[in-house]
Amino acid sequence: MKMKSVKLIIATVLLSTCIMSCSDFFEIIPDSSIQEDDFYKTEADLNASAIGMYESLAKEVHKFLLWGDARADLVTAGQAEPDPYINEFVVNNVSTNNPYTSYAGIYSTIARCNRQMEKVYDVHKLDKNLTDRDAGAFYAEALLLRAICYYQLVRTFDEFPLITSDYAENIRYVSAAGDTISKPTLSLTPQQIESIFRMPANKQEVWTLIFKDAQTALGLLPINYRWNGGSSLSAKERYGRVSQVLAALFAAEVALWLGDYQSASSFCDLPIRNTGYSLGVSGTWINQFTSSSASDHSMFLLGYEYDRGFETNRLQEFTSSVRGDGGKYYLKPVAQIVDDLYKDDYSDADADIREQFSYKVLDGDTVIWKYIGLDNVSSRRPPYQSDASWHILRSADAYLIKALADLRLNNYSSAFNFLNRVREARGLVELDNLTFPYTDKELMEDMIFAERAREFAFEGRRWYDLMLRSQMNGRNMLADVVAKKYPLSERAAIKARLENQDNWYVPIDPKLWR
């Protein structure tokens, strides 16, 4: 599907969605009588609107699991007769009519972010209690969240629309005569839509936008800023809204993808040194999935409050093998591969807390345990109570990004140090610098990516890590790794398909916006 051939279709569907779904986008308080004329006047309105920015994204995490894990080597289909749409991701042959390819939820968040950015300074003029500092924080929050959305898109889809302004009311554009025109969106013809709607020229344009916006947000977000003045913040609001340290960590990860290893390493310093977050210890690691508090592990999560508003995701449905809990067992771990992954050649004891909690064999079924378990033994979530947090970035990211960036900069001792700090915090032994060959770059890269796989297993990361490693080394490492999860008779065909990097991306059907 080429950009110019889908440009008008996507633009028309996207614009009509923005217009027709306006109440869904901006009706933050569940009261249909609220009109926008009565909204965007106070800081409280901005805060309510900000919470709404995250809501549509929180409904998409089951897709993130499919996009980032089902296609990779650690996950396969759980059912004996797999759901055909789920299985398309598992076998890496996704069709354009697959409903799980829809990125509508991401664009709902992008639309809300654009709306917030265009309204912040209007509210600033109306609400005298809204300081410059607060207005900058609200603007940066929307900018950073939008950048995170595009980061998800640019790694998942080869082609997608780029929207950086609000389409809900008037659109301003330059006509063929050079005049700046402002018109209501409903009055535009398809030809006018085509003339103003912009698909990115290439992926580099999107990457540049993401990196620039992350750095802008970093500069605007106040240090240790507390939303709502810090009063009675729930865990969802504390960890489920962006922060300055998140902006730095996100910029570090983007810099890693751009090959700017010096910037990636430097950006990690802020989250590593910030006392509000830490690696935690082995005994608290599971709390970020099992309790309402994210402990101090999470930099940014999509949270759910089942006790307050029955907020849930679909992760229990996708991963549980118990029908009575709402489980459909769509996905399960690839037992042989995850068993090998969690074998540590340097530790005598089987003490890695992540192995005990990430997956289990229960009643003969190998299950992803992170989203259905309440402890590292056998206690499960109540039926249909899918409120495990979905983590976007965690403290461990800072240490492992730092390790990887410093390794690329040939700073072996630093890379070794940060790798060791993560290992120790998860119950593994510290590697000895006198006996471990930490100046072996290939071995160290293996160790760091393996540590990332253990730390972030089943969190929608693995496929993208394989993409990143392939990019860093200039050779297709993804095809070799992913092919190993298939039966021997199928490996050659799967590997051949994935040798073509065009097949790394999920195809798009613009009609799925509807």
3-state DSSP assignment of residue 71: coil
238-255 tens-digit pLDDT: 678 999 999 999 999 999
Residue 89 lies in a domain: yes
CA angle 427, 461, 449 (to 5 degrees): 55
In a domain, 220, yes or no: yes
Q: What is the distance between the alpha carbons of residues 262 and 470, in angstroms, rounded to a whole number?
A: 19
Report, in angstroms and rounded to the nearest whole number, the Rg of the chain calculated over CA atoms.
23
pLDDT in tens, 207-219: 999 999 999 999 9
Q: What token pair was written down for 344?
A: 């540590």
Interior/surface letters 260-271, b for 16+ CB within 10 angstroms, e for the rest: bbebbbbbbebb
Confirm if 354 and 97 have CB atoms less than 8 A apart.
Answer: no
d(CA 506, CA 135): 37
Q: Pick the more confident residue, 197 or 333.
A: 333
Rounded CA-CA distance 208/125 in Å is 32
What is the token pair recorded at 321?
Answer: 């093998």
Query: Distance (Å, rounded) from C-alpha 36 to C-alpha 41?
Result: 10
Overall number of domains in the chain: 1
User: Is 366 domain-assigned?
Assistant: no
- Would you say residue 368 lies in a domain? no
* Least confident span in 340-349, 437-446, 459-468: 340-349
Q: What is the pLDDT of residues 167-198, one digit of tens each?
A: 544 555 555 566 766 665 555 555 555 555 56
What is the Cα 194 distance to its own chain's centre? Answer: 30
Of the chain, the percentage scoring pLDDT greater than 70 comes to 82
Asked, for residue 341, whether it belongs to a domain, the answer is no
* Domain span at 218: 3-231
Q: How confident is the model at residue 8 (pLDDT cuts 50, 70, 90)?
A: very low
Closest residue by Cα to residue 477 from 488, 466, 486, 485 = 466
Q: What is the mean pLDDT of residues 256-270?
A: 98
Note whether residue 180 is domain-resident.
yes
What pLDDT is attached to residue 359?
96
Residue 244 belongs to some domain of the structure: no
pLDDT band, residue 6 (cuts 50/70/90): very low
- CATH code for the domain of 134: 1.25.40.390
Q: Which of 304-318, 369-383, 460-474 has the lowest mean pLDDT?
A: 304-318
Residue 121 lies in a domain: yes
Confidence label for 227 from pLDDT (cuts 50, 70 and 90): confident
Residue 33 has pLDDT above 50, yes or no: no
Q: In the numeric block, which tokens belong to residue 334?
A: 């690839």
Helical packing angle, 395-408 and 244-257, nearest 10°: 40
Q: What is the reported pLDDT for 170?
A: 54
**Alpha carbons 269 and 249: distance in angstroms, whole number:** 9
Predicted model pTM: 0.88
291 or 299, which is more confident? Answer: 299
- What average pLDDT does the chain have? 86
Q: Summarize pLDDT for 393-416 with one digit per residue, the tens.
A: 999 999 999 999 999 999 999 999
Band (pLDDT 50/70/90 cuts) for residue 11 is very low
- In whole angstroms, what is the distance from residue 291 CA to residue 433 CA? 37
List CB contacts of 19: < 8 A, sequence separation 6 or more. 167, 168, 185, 186
